[in-house]
Chains A and B, each alone.
Chain A
């Protein structure tokens, strides 16, 4: 793996080292919300814990995993060393320092602002600075992905960029567009107030800017899973990718339709007019296109593999697939979760249906099933695929790995299905304690207990993951298998310039952003929507 072996390994280990304690916190939070007695019974700690769990899972695990994956894909798909190795390590260090700052601030109890840190909630400046550094540091990775792809294109004029690299660069660009919202929010609204330079916070502007990030970040999390779908799954199944062009179009569409849609998170917010809410709701539905395209291509690729392996009949090819391969098992489980989670997502993004479930426990149930389920299970599969390539040591036990994937799948459903139902029954999210003797809440009690059981299963799976990875790493180095990406049925010989680069699509996205966000953000220059901060650390006026 050329010069990126250690780099990728370090990124993965930070991601998984943060992952396990964050799962433990999640179990405790579920227990806290349930009628069962929780070990430490303190709502203050609950909000600190939700902040830590969210920050760890949404920002730290994902960013480090995506960066590590990106470096590994760059060197293996381009077949040459990474350009800018020193810069990559500097980026790693910045992200790590940012993470430590944010975690320390949360642990001190002075940043219980939840991972969305919506103003006018205000926590410690250390938390915001840490998050800004983490996200800012990952921009080095973005630049490196673009630089590496551009350099390869210069050295290989007229040749198509390998799909894996094309998709990774799309991920990097998507993340740059996504992060622009939260970085602007930090620099323009939150940090000045946190450092005491301003007295008020423009909550409406901050929420609108954050919405730029809030939905596209989800696709940033999703992209490594989709890259695995297109480039690793057909190979693991022993077949070929159905269509290279479809892959390119999918990643281009994700880039286009995942950023100018964030206002669907603000349907209940008064500062945005109904017109823009509808506009972005409309665009959100277009995100379903690349997902449907992917489900089609992946099923087609798997069918090719299944028939190649001797599967006959209408559905016989499914049984013929190598289900003992963690990658194939993971993609099957992932697609099931994607189906259920995606169905819920259609409700969230609908301008009118959203009001049924807005801010209820349906929402965390949805994103746990989608991200925690469909996406993270692919992270596991990618790790199982990458580990032998990075360490040169075989995977400790495929059987344990399969157990881990199954436990995660079952645990995620046992957790999230009751969670969805309590949401429909009206249980709010982000609340530490419920009085289940209340006749309104009493019918939810057994459902929440079910979710706790699911959370414990998830914890068992997370522990198993670490066991498999650690035991694989301490084995003997005997293996030297290069990472191979799936070939397409018709390998690309020449592709149109537009499908081999991103200039056109960046330009179109820029126009989308101007149309979709120009007025919603611009209006705050004449709206007076600043409000006093609500500090979770200190009192408001400071006058006593």
Chain B
């Protein structure tokens, strides 16, 4: 309503000219500096030609350039990526059909099974489907190795993996669901006397160790990380040790290896014991 009479784009009155000229000057100066000078003459970098400089300042990676230096061979911890396709596949898992596949599993993974007297085989009842699926994919591709698991996983189709993961996820058992609330234990977990509880709820910032619970519960949850509340103590201790020694290497970004390497054997034991004690009955008894 104010615009029509005024002719905002015309340049025949002085303020219009001043406005538009300032606009052009500002844009030209800042563009030349930002798109040409800045990315062309940065220190610690080879000088780029004009076109590459512009591409880089737009955020488009330029082909070519100083890419001739030798690179170490790429080692990936897993072949799985948390893409939409992966999550869609896991969600499509059919728990009923998974029950049929799981007939092969329960001989060892059944809680308190005769084949598992030392409890070094994890219980899977109630574990997140995405965590189970990732481990199966890693067994299948050889990124994680353990006894018969590689052969078993290779015998399954990708669909079977999702189905069996959905099956175990839906089964009630020892493992505690992560509620999605973060660190329910209150802030001052640093002052906990129990080493296990302190590491689980507060971690150890001085050594760069985050709280276990922020990914593995109780409370916290991160995609692909299994809940540990209620898991067998012996199994957890063995896995943390395997990460620490580099025997197990299927953790993305070496997250678990970086943490486990810093833990003393007593601390590994304490954390494992803390989680092992978190069964449904014991929690119920405590309250």
A: residues with CB less than 8 A from B are: 32, 38, 41-44, 46-47, 109, 146, 150, 153, 199-200, 271-279, 282-283, 286, 432-433, 435, 437-441, 496-499, 501-508, 511-512, 515, 519, 523, 530, 532, 535-544
Contacts and interface: CB of A to CB of B under 8 A. Distances in A.
A44 B183 CA distance: 7
A44 B8 contact: no
B202 to A, nearest CB: 7
Given A435-B202, A532-B223, A541 B87 contact: yes
B169 A543 contact: yes
Given A153-B2, A282-B33, A540-B221, A199 B84 contact: yes
Contacts of B54: 275
A273 B60 contact: yes
Contacts of A537: 180
Interface residues of B, number: 60
Contacts of A512: 23, 27
B1 interface: yes
Contact of B33 (A278, A286, A497, A507): A278
A153 B4 CA distance: 14
Contact of B187 (A273, A433, A438): A433
A544 B186 contact: no
Nearest to A147: B1
B3 interface: yes
A286 B26 contact: yes
Interface in B54-85: 54, 56-60, 82, 84
Nearest to B132: A543
Nearest to B5: A497
A539 B221 contact: yes
B82 A543 contact: no
A501 B6 contact: yes
Nearest to B30: A282
Contacts of B165: 543
B31 A279 contact: yes
A438 B39 contact: no
Contact of A543 (B23, B38, B84, B90): B90
Given A273-B59, A435-B202, A506-B3, A279 B34 contact: yes
A539 B39 CA distance: 42
B15 interface: yes
Nearest to A535: B180
Interface string B134-177: 00000000000000000000000000000001100110000001
B184 A543 contact: no
Contacts of A44: 181-184
Contacts of A146: 1
B169 A274 contact: no
B15 A544 contact: no
Interface of B: 1-3, 5-6, 8-9, 13-16, 19-20, 23, 26-27, 29-31, 33-35, 38-39, 54, 56-60, 82, 84, 87, 90-91, 93, 126, 128-130, 165-166, 169-170, 177-178, 180-184, 186-188, 190, 202, 205-206, 221, 223
A345 B165 CA distance: 52
Given A507-B9, A541-B130, A544-B129, A150 B205 contact: no
A541 B223 contact: yes
B35 A435 contact: no
Nearest to B24: A511
A497 B186 contact: no
A501 to B, nearest CB: 4
A452 B172 CA distance: 47
Contacts of A439: 206
Contacts of A502: 2
B178 A539 contact: yes
A244 to B, nearest CB: 15
Contacts of A505: 19
Contact of A507 (B8, B166, B183): B8
Contacts of B221: 539-540
Contacts of A286: 26
A440 B166 CA distance: 45
The 6 closest A-B pairs by CB, nearest first: A275-B57, A273-B59, A498-B15, A278-B34, A503-B3, A507-B8
B130 to A, nearest CB: 5
B214 to A, nearest CB: 11
Nearest to A539: B180
Contact of B19 (A47, A440, A498, A538): A498
8 contacts: A200-B84, A276-B59, A282-B34, A435-B206, A438-B205, A496-B13, A497-B13, A504-B16
Given A41-B188, A283-B30, A538-B180, A508 B23 contact: yes
Contact of A278 (B38, B91, B129): B38
B60 A541 contact: no
Given A435-B205, A506-B8, A543-B128, 8 more contacts: A42-B187, A275-B57, A279-B30, A497-B5, A523-B59, A532-B84, A536-B180, A543-B130
B38 A544 contact: no
B57 A276 contact: yes
A47 B177 CA distance: 23
B176 to A, nearest CB: 11
Nearest to A42: B186
A275 B188 CA distance: 44
Contacts of A199: 84, 87
A25 to B, nearest CB: 16
Contacts of A275: 31, 34-35, 38-39, 54, 56-59
A114 B13 CA distance: 48
A489 B56 CA distance: 52
Nearest to B129: A543
A43 B30 contact: no
Give the most central of A47, A200, A283, A508: most B CB within 10 Å.
A508
Nearest to A544: B169
A285 B20 CA distance: 19
Contact of A150 (B1, B30, B58): B1
